[in-house]
C-alpha cells in the first residue's frame, strides 16, 4: 500500500511543466498546492478548496480509514471505503493486486461513484490508504479522483467540521475499464530483472526491506533481487502533506532515478 503513495507522488511531480515552477520553498506543508511546482496539481485538493465545495452536486468524499476509525469521526458526507476492500485477498495473504472488475463495480457503485462523479479521497493523514484508493480508481478507469492534501489530520488541526453521521448513498452504475498496463505481475517482472534502465524500488520500511519485519500478510521477508530501498516517507512533507516537486525529485535523484 505504501508503494501506491509513491506512485501518486511520482506521477504528481514528474510530468513536464514550466521551469519557473521549480522554485518551491523547502517546507511544502505550509505552501499552497499551486506553488509547490507540481506537474499535475489537479491530482490533489487542499482543505481550503474542499471546505468550499462540501455538499456540491456530483462530489463524493471517500474516507479510506478502517471502519472503527471512520465511525469515530469523518468529514460530512464521506463514505467509508477502506483500501483493503479493493485488494485481491487470498486465504493466506494480501496479494497487493487490484480486486476483480466484478467487485470494483459492486464496491464503487455502492459508494455512489459513477463515470462523472468527482471523488476526493482522504485518510488519517498518512497518505498511503488514500493513495491506494486513488490508484484503484485510476486502475479501473476513473480519472476524476483527487487526494486531500494533509488528510483528516490537517482538516482537524484547522478546526473544520466533522461528524459521526452516516450519509445516505444511492447506488449508481460504475463500469470498470481495467488498465492492466499500470501494474506488472511477478512473471513479467522476473523477465525484466537486470534490464538496462529498469529500476525496482521497494518503498516499504527498512525493516520490511531487510526482512526482519513481516507486514501485510507477507509469507517471507526480504526484497526483490536488485531492488533499491526508497521508503515512502521521503515523499511526505510533515507526515501528512505531500512533499514539493523539488523534494520529490531530489529524493528520486538520490537513488539514481531521473
Range of the structural domain that residue 102 is part of: 2-17+29-179
Average pLDDT of 172-180?
96
Cβ contacts of 75 within 8 Å, gap of 6 or more:
50, 54, 61, 63, 122, 152, 155, 161, 162, 163
Q: What is the pLDDT of residues 73-90, one digit of tens each?
A: 999 999 999 987 887 655
Question: No. of H helices and E strands in the chain?
Answer: 9, 9
Q: What angle do CA 149, 154, 160 make, to 5 degrees?
A: 115
C-alpha distance across the termini of the chain, in Å: 23
Q: Are residues 106 and 191 in the same domain?
A: no
Q: Has residue 24 been placed in a domain?
A: no
Kindly indicate the confidence band of residue 141, based on its pLDDT and cuts at 50, 70 and 90. very high
Please check whether residues 195 and 69 belong to one and the same domain: no
Residues 159 and 221 both lie in one domain? no
In this structure, are 168 and 121 located in the same domain? yes
Both 247 and 135 in a single domain?
Answer: no
Q: Based on the domain organization, do 33 and 127 belong to the same domain?
A: yes
Residue 254: φ, ψ to 5°: -60, -25
**Are 231 and 158 members of one domain?**
no
Lowest mean pLDDT among 7-11, 37-41, 51-55, 74-78: 7-11
Predicted local distance difference test score (pLDDT) of residue 23: 38
CATH number, position 234: 3.40.250.10
Range of lowest pLDDT (143-152, 211-220, 229-238): 211-220
> Which of 150, 179, 208 is the endpoint of a domain?
179
Tell me which of 93 and 242 has the higher pLDDT: 242
The secondary structure element, H or E, covering residue 88 is strand 87-89
Same domain, 92 and 38: yes
Count of structural domains within the chain = 2
CB 125 within 8 A of CB 240: yes
pLDDT at 65 > cutoff 50: yes
For the segment 18-24, the average pLDDT, to the nearest whole number, is 37
Q: Are residues 114 and 46 in the same domain?
A: yes
Same domain, 249 and 167: no
Check: CB of residue 171 under 8 Å from CB of residue 112: yes
Indicate the residue among 144, 179, 214 that finishes a domain: 179
**pLDDT band at 256, cuts 50/70/90?**
confident
Which helix (H) or strand (E) element contains residue 61?
A: strand 59-63
Domain membership flag for residue 105: yes
> Residue 234 — pLDDT band, cuts 50, 70, 90?
confident
Shared domain for 231 and 130, answered yes or no, is: no
Three cell numbers, residue 194:
537486470
pLDDT in tens, 196-230: 988 999 988 899 899 888 876 677 889 999 999 99
> Where does the pLDDT of residue 21 fall: very low under 50, low under 70, confident under 90, or very high at 90 and above?
very low
Q: For residues 125 and 64, is the Cβ–Cβ distance under 8 A?
A: no
Q: What is this structure's pTM?
A: 0.85
Which residue, of 152, 179, 206, is where some domain finishes? Answer: 179
Amino acid at each position: 500500500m505504501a508503494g501506491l503513495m509513491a506512485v501518486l507522488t511520482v506521477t504528481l511531480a514528474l510530468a513536464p511543466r514550466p521551469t519557473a515552477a521549480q522554485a518551491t520553498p523547502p517546507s511544502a506543508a505550509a505552501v499552497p498546492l499551486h506553488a509547490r511546482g507540481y506537474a499535475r496539481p489537479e491530482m490533489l485538493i487542499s482543505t481550503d478548496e474542499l471546505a468550499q465545495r462540501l455538499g456540491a452536486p456530483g462530489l463524493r468524499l471517500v474516507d479510506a480509514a478502517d471502519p472503527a476509525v471512520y465511525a469515530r469521526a469523518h468529514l460530512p458526507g464521506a463514505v467509508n471505503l477502506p483500501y483493503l476492500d479493493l485488494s485481491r485477498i487470498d486465504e493466506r495473504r494480501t496479494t497487493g493486486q487490484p480486486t476483480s472488475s466484478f467487485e470494483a463495480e459492486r464496491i464503487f457503485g455502492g459508494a455512489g461513484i459513477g463515470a462523472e462523479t468527482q471523488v476526493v479521497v482522504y485518510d488519517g493523514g498518512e497518505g498511503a490508504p488514500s493513495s491506494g484508493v486513488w490508484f484503484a480508481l485510476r486502475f479501473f478507469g476513473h480519472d476524476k479522483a483527487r487526494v486531500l492534501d494533509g488528510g483528516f489530520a490537517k482538516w482537524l488541526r484547522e478546526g473544520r467540521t466533522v461528524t459521526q453521521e452516516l450519509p445516505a448513498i444511492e447506488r449508481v452504475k460504475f463500469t470498470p475499464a481495467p488498465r492492466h498496463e499500470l501494474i506488472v505481475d511477478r512473471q513479467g517482472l522476473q523477465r525484466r530483472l537486470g534490464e538496462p534502465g529498469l529500476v525496482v524500488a521497494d518503498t516499504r520500511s527498512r525493516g520490511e526491506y531487510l526482512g526482519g519485519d513481516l507486514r501485510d500478510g507477507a509469507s517471507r521477508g526480504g526484497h526483490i533481487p536488485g531492488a533499491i530501498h526508497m521508503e515512502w516517507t521521503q515523499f511526505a512533507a510533515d507526515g501528512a502533506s505531500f512533499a514539493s516537486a523539488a523534494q520529490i525529485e531530489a529524493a528520486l535523484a538520490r537513488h539514481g532515478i531521473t
